[in-house]
Amino acid sequence: MRNIHEPLDRLARVHDGELTDQVSAAGAQALLASIVSGPGATTTAVTAPSPWRLRMPRLVAGALAAGALVTGVIVGPGVLGDESATSYANSAIAIELDGDQYVARIKDPLADHVKYTEAFHAVGLDIDLRLVPASPTGVGKFLSVRWSKSSGAGPARSASGSSLPTLDFTPEGCQLHQAGCELMMRVPADYTGNMSLSLGRRAEPGEEYGNPDWATAPGEMFGGVRLQDGRPVDAMLAEARRRDLTVEFSRIRPDAETGALSFEPLPADQVRGDWTVWHAWQVKAGVIRLLVTPERLPENPFEKGAHLPS
């Protein structure tokens, strides 16, 4: 993360002995907001009002003198005391405190994930959010959730007992790729702990999906296809043609000692029609990968919890 204090160090400083012609902290914050809202200001943050006061003329002069160097301003610890920021905004995301929750509005689903993490850290939340390309039914849904287990078997919780953020769209029912549609994520303000989240966004043309394991789920490429007992390659090729899908293959290779699975991509001309399909991954729009073995296995390895290797 960039050092946000470097540009602030260049601002004119005001010492306690110079505090004359004072204005209220709220007024100073309004002034600061007007300064950073002009052209070139891409990052803002606001904290709870500070008990000490700023001298307006010196702040204006210092900010204007440093204007060529400052592209974003954070008003927080070290500037207005020890309070944590209660809101933060950059070009990708805006977060603000709403009662006992932080509400994050995702403005740019294609932004670098560093911008999202920067914003959560600014308001005191240790959350790493990544928006990844997903199939249509995965857009706006959590694709993976990971947390650091400092104690117990699950994530840290807020005082209310909540452990996962909640999602909704505004306006209600809109699609994330539509103009004016924003995804909102709500997190308890008193949440503690570290969390890494992958959230589905619409895939750009040619992008591979971040939710390949959903291929046979309702609404997906192979929705409704049952592979629990294995199916012949010929039958699955016919099904793929019926759905106008391009097929790729990977051979499943179970480890004899550990049972772990590895996957070897194979060209179609090396796969026979009587081989067995045990699972399917959706690669990208219109492309599906069938996971096969030359022989029938005693049981489907994916029914034992095998998934896409990380």
| DSSP assignments along 11-72, one per residue | SPP--GGG--SB--HHHHHHHHHHHHTSTT--EEEEESPPSS--BHHHHHHHHHHTTTT-SE
Residue 278 in domain: yes
226 and 285 fall within a common domain: yes
What integer is the mean pLDDT of 261-281? 97
Q: Which of 31, 64, 83 is the last residue of a domain?
A: 83
Per-residue pLDDT at 77 exceeds 60? no
User: What is the structure's pLDDT at 32?
Assistant: 39
Sheet holding 43-47, edge to edge: 72-74, 43-47, 85-89, 93-98, 101-106, 182-188, 166-170
113 and 195 fall within a common domain: yes
Residue 69 in domain: yes
User: What is the structure's pLDDT at 173?
Assistant: 72
201 and 216 fall within a common domain: no
Give the residue numbers spanning the domain of 20.
1-83
153 and 133 fall within a common domain: yes
52-66, 118-132, 273-287, range with the lowest pLDDT: 52-66
Residue 219 in domain: yes
How far, in Å, are 102, 223, 300 from residue 252 at the CA level? 45, 22, 11
101 and 183 fall within a common domain: yes
Q: What is the pLDDT of residues 154-190, one digit of tens each?
A: 455 544 555 568 888 887 777 766 777 888 999 998 8
200 and 126 fall within a common domain: yes
67 pLDDT band (50/70/90 cuts)? very low
What's the number of domains the chain is made of?
Answer: 3
113 and 10 fall within a common domain: no
Q: What is the pLDDT of residues 228-268, one digit of tens each?
A: 999 999 999 999 999 999 999 999 998 888 888 999 999 99
Per-residue pLDDT at 51 exceeds 80? no
200 and 174 fall within a common domain: yes
User: Which is more confident, 1 or 237?
Assistant: 237
How far, in Å, are 62, 92, 152, 188 from residue 162 at the CA level? 44, 26, 15, 7
User: Which is more confident, 43 or 116?
Assistant: 116
Q: Which residues pair with 281 in a beta bridge?
A: 289
User: What is the structure's pLDDT at 150?
Assistant: 45
Question: What proportion of the chain, given as a percentage, has pLDDT over 70?
Answer: 65
User: What is the structure's pLDDT at 148?
Assistant: 67
Q: Are 95 and 119 in contact (CB under 8 A)?
A: yes
Residue 308 in domain: no
12 and 44 fall within a common domain: yes
Residue 236 in domain: yes
Contacting residues for 293 by C-beta, under 8 A, at least 6 apart? 251, 252, 275, 276, 278
Residue 16 in domain: yes
d(CA 276, CA 288): 16
72 and 39 fall within a common domain: yes
Residue 196 in domain: yes
Residue indicated by tokens 């160090």 = 9
User: What is the structure's pLDDT at 165?
Assistant: 84
Q: Are 292 and 276 in contact (CB under 8 A)?
A: yes
Q: Which of 83, 109, 126 is the last residue of a domain?
A: 83
71 and 120 fall within a common domain: no
Question: What count of Cα atoms within 13 Å lies in the side-chain half-sphere of residue 133?
Answer: 12
Q: Which of 208, 224, 259 is the last residue of a domain?
A: 208
User: What is the structure's pLDDT at 147?
Assistant: 77
User: What is the structure's pLDDT at 307?
Assistant: 53
d(CA 120, CA 297): 47
What is the reported pTM?
Answer: 0.65
Q: Which residues pair with 127 in a beta bridge?
A: 195
20 and 124 fall within a common domain: no
Residue 286 in domain: yes
Per-residue pLDDT at 219 exceeds 80? yes
